[in-house]
Amino acid sequence: MSSQAGTPAQTRPDASAGTRPEVLGVTDLKQYFAVSAPWTARLARSAPIEPVKAVDGVSLSLREGETLGLVGESGCGKSTLSRTILGLYAPTAGEIRYAGTSLSGGPSRAQRRHVQMVFQDPYSSLNPRMSVGQMLTELLRYHKIVPSAETGNRCRELMDLVGLPQQALGRRPRQFSGGQRQRIGIARALALEPKVLIADEAVSALDVSVQATIINLLIDLKTELDLSMVFVSHNMAVVRQVSDRVAVMYRGRIVETGPTDAVFGAPSHPYTKLLIGSVPRMLAAPTQTAGENLADPLAAVDGEPEADDSPYSAHKVEHGEGHGCRFRPRCPVAFDRCSTEPDLLPLPGITPQCAACWHVETPDGEHA
């Protein structure tokens, strides 16, 4: 794996996309969800309940033609982040920019077209009561993307684009397999001719052989239509294949970001190391690379964040601002500086890699 890591520019011609303008950006984005209190309690004005900080200060920038992989485990906030960027939730704080224009409030009808999403679940992401043709026609008509007379042709073009037969237009979602449904989902997103495609776990529910076809399709479409893509996934191996750059999320914050091969080849944040090391490798011993604290899996608590309302949650007292790095309870190399939360710090060297870890500034000691 080191061979690729050393030569990112050769394996990644798109990495030069760094010179192209930004199509999508967020600055210090926060998305908190109020834990709903009974209305009687709200009337009584009892003490406010601490909100769930799903996204807690994220800054990102996506350039034209670039694919950004957003990885993290369940509950890290990656889906919330992508849905907030899409405009499905109004952000608690922070700025979202589409092609340099700041979004204030919800996106306008024209702005909606700019960013579109391919959803995760092939079984619930399509309206079961509408045929594929109705679904696409509705979008084309409402956004007046093509003249009315051209709608049928455009629908057929979209089917060709995602590799489905034109007869598919007359059918309802139930009549398709999982992989075909994801193709329909992609066609729906492309109908609006977006600049940015967000793929939210778009291949996670598929079998590996089908997963590969959908990934290949997304990569082809990206090149063909000059799209930019945010590829959200918990699957490190898939993200590695697709992305030019990755951002690793942990409990609402980005803990590491950089060119894909740099991050995979030389991860800097202890969490990234754990995450990459934990991916099961063919014919390798299961705990071989699973991180220092996991050498004896039974000796240590697994450190998986438990539900915040659980009396057994290690994070209950430690979570949030003023309580230091959020990975500290699981971190094998935590030291005294970790009691304050680090921002993303640039790594020394020419690759634009950053990690939210104090060890970046003090590379000596046990973390070297």
Partner 1 sequence: MTTLPAPLPTFDASTIRKRSGERNITLYAGLTLFALIVLAAVFAPLLTSADPLQQNLLQARLAPGSPGHLLGTDDLGRDVLSRILYGARVDLRVGVLAVVTPLVIGSILGLLCGWWGRWFDTIVMRLVDIVVAFPFYVLVIALVFALGQGTKSIYIAISAVGWVAYCRIVRGQVLVAKEQEYALAARASGLPTWRILLRHLLPNVILQAIVYAMSDIVLSILAIVTLSYLGLGVAPPSPEWGSMIAEGQNSLLTQWYLATIPGLCVVVVGLALALIADGLVNQFNKR
Partner 2 sequence: MTAPAQSGPAAPVLEAVDLHVEIPLPMGQLKAVRGVSLSVGAGEAVGLVGESGCGKSITLRALLGLLPVPARVTGGALLLDGVDVLGMAERRRQRALTDAISMVFQDSLTALNPVMRVGDQIAEVPRRRLGMSKAEAHARAIDLMDQVGIPEPEQRYRAYPHQLSGGMRQRICIAIAMSTEPRVILADEPTTALDVTIQAQVLAVIDKLRVERELGLVLVSHDLAVVSQTCSRIYVMYAGRVVEAGQSLPLLTRSEHPYTDALLRSVPDPDATVERLASIPGQPPMLVDVPPGCAFAPRCTFARDVCTADPNPPELEPVSVGGSHTTACVRHQDIDLASGAVSAFVAEKEA
- The site for partner 1 (CB under 8 A) is made up of 39, 74, 83, 86-88, 107, 109, 112-113, 116-117, 119-121, 123-130, 138-139, 142-143, 172, 174-175, 177-178, 185, 188, 191-192, 201, 204-208, 211, 234-235, 238
Q: What is the DSSP string of 73-98?
A: -TTSSHHHHHHHHHTSS--SEEEEEE
Q: How far apart are CA 78 and CA 39, in angstroms?
A: 30
296 Cβ contact list (under 8 Å, min separation 6): none
Q: How far apart are CA 12 and CA 212, in angstroms?
A: 19
Residue from 37, 52, 290, 345 touching partner 2 (CB under 8 A): that is 290
Q: Which is nearer to partner 2, 155 or 247 (CB)?
A: 247
- For residue 59, the minimal CB distance to partner 1 (Å) is 22
27: left (phi over 0), alpha (psi -120 to 50) or beta: beta
Q: Which is nearer to partner 2, 277 or 352 (CB)?
A: 277
234 binds partner 2 (CB under 8 A): yes
Q: How far apart are CA 186 and CA 199, in angstroms?
A: 9
- For residue 283, the minimal CB distance to partner 2 (Å) is 5
9 binds partner 2 (CB under 8 A): no
Q: How far apart are CA 93 and CA 227, in angstroms?
A: 28
285 binds partner 2 (CB under 8 A): yes
Our separate counts of H helices and E strands in the chain read: 12, 12
- For residue 338, the minimal CB distance to partner 2 (Å) is 19
Half-sphere exposure of 96 (CA within 13 A, CB side): 25
- For residue 201, the minimal CB distance to partner 2 (Å) is 13
- For residue 168, the minimal CB distance to partner 1 (Å) is 15
284 Cβ contact list (under 8 Å, min separation 6): none
Residue 223 interacts, among partner 1, partner 2, none and using kind-specific CB cut-offs from 5 to 8 Å, with: none
279 Cβ contact list (under 8 Å, min separation 6): 236, 237
Residue 240 interacts, among partner 2, partner 1, none and using kind-specific CB cut-offs from 5 to 8 Å, with: partner 2
- For residue 236, the minimal CB distance to partner 2 (Å) is 5
215 binds partner 2 (CB under 8 A): yes
User: For partner 2, what does the binding mask look like between residues 303 and 332, x meaning CB under 8 A?
Assistant: -xxxx-xxxx--------------------
User: DSSP state, 19?
Assistant: G
Closest by CA to 14, choosing from 363, 260, 303, 253, is 260
- For residue 341, the minimal CB distance to partner 2 (Å) is 21
Q: Give the chain's length.
A: 368
Q: What is the DSSP string of 190-249?
A: HHT--SEEEEESTTTTS-HHHHHHHHHHHHHHHHHHT-EEEEEES-HHHHHHH-SEEEEE
Q: Which is nearer to partner 2, 102 or 177 (CB)?
A: 177
204 binds partner 2 (CB under 8 A): no
- For residue 234, the minimal CB distance to partner 1 (Å) is 8
- Residues of the shown chain interacting with partner 2 in the complex, contacts defined by CB under 8 A: 1, 4, 11-12, 73-74, 177, 179, 207-213, 215-216, 219, 234-238, 240-241, 260-261, 264, 274-276, 278-287, 290-291, 294, 297-298, 301-302, 304-307, 309-312
